[in-house]
C-alpha cells in the first residue's frame, strides 16, 4: 500500500500541482497523466489479496483524479494492459503451460506486446 497507493498519490499530487501552474497547450490541456497499472486493480484473482487491494487503490485514485481535475484541464487516464511480454513477465513466459493459461484469460488470441501499450499511451 505504501508504494502502490501512497507512492502513486504523492507523484500524482506533484504532477497536478505543476500542471495547474502551466498554460493551456494547443490541444486545450494543461497536462496529461497516463497511469499504467495492473488489471488486478479492476479484476479479482485468488491468493493476491494485498496486491489487488493496492492496485484497486491506484485504480480508484485515478478515477477520482479524473473527475476532480477535468475542470482544471488536466487529463488523467489509465491503461491496464493485462499480461504483456515484458521483462517482469519473462519468467512466466518461458513456461508453455503458463502461457496457455494466460491466453485463456484474454479475449485476444495472443498476449500483449510492449508496443501495444506504447501505442495507447501515445494516443492518450
pTM metric for this prediction: 0.75
The per-residue pLDDT for range 14-48, each reduced to its tens digit, is 999 999 999 998 888 899 999 888 777 777 778 88
CA distance 20 to 31: 8
Looking at the structure, tell me whether residues 46 and 104 fall in a common domain.
no
CA distance 118 to 86: 12
On the question of pLDDT at 61 being above 80, the answer is yes
User: How many Cβ atoms sit within 10 Å of the Cβ of residue 38?
Assistant: 20
Looking at the structure, tell me whether residues 64 and 18 fall in a common domain.
yes
Mean pLDDT of 52-59: 89
CA distance 84 to 45: 17
Residues with catalytic annotation?
Answer: 51
Total domains in the chain come to: 2
The per-residue pLDDT for range 79-121, each reduced to its tens digit, is 988 778 888 777 878 888 888 888 877 777 778 889 999 999 9
Three-state SS at 85: coil
Looking at the structure, tell me whether residues 15 and 70 fall in a common domain.
yes
> What is the predicted pLDDT for the residue at 120?
93
Mean pLDDT of 46-68: 88
> What is the predicted pLDDT for the residue at 92?
79
Looking at the structure, tell me whether residues 5 and 51 fall in a common domain.
yes
Mean pLDDT of 2-10: 89
Looking at the structure, tell me whether residues 87 and 69 fall in a common domain.
no
**Residue 69 in grid coordinates:** 481535475
> What is the predicted pLDDT for the residue at 34?
93
Output the CA–CA distances (angstroms, integers) from residue 40 to 22, 31, 101, in the order listed. Answer: 33, 27, 16
- Domain range for 122 is 81-124
Amino acid at each position: 500500500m505504501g508504494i502502490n497507493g501512497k507512492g502513486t498519490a504523492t507523484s500524482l499530487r506533484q504532477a497536478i500541482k505543476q500542471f495547474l501552474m502551466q498554460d493551456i497547450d494547443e490541444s486545450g490541456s494543461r497536462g496529461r497523466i497516463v497511469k499504467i497499472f495492473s488489471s488486478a486493480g479492476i479484476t479479482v484473482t485468488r491468493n493476491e489479496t494485498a496486491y489487488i487491494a493496492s492496485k484497486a487503490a491506484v485504480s480508484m485514485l485515478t478515477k477520482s483524479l479524473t473527475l476532480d481535475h477535468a475542470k482544471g484541464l488536466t487529463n488523467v487516464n489509465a491503461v491496464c494492459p493485462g499480461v504483456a511480454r515484458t521483462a517482469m513477465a519473462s519468467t512466466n513466459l518461458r513456461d508453455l503451460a503458463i502461457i496457455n493459461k494466460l491466453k485463456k484469460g484474454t479475449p485476444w488470441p495472443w498476449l500483449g506486446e510492449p508496443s501495444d501499450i506504447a501505442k495507447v499511451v501515445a494516443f492518450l
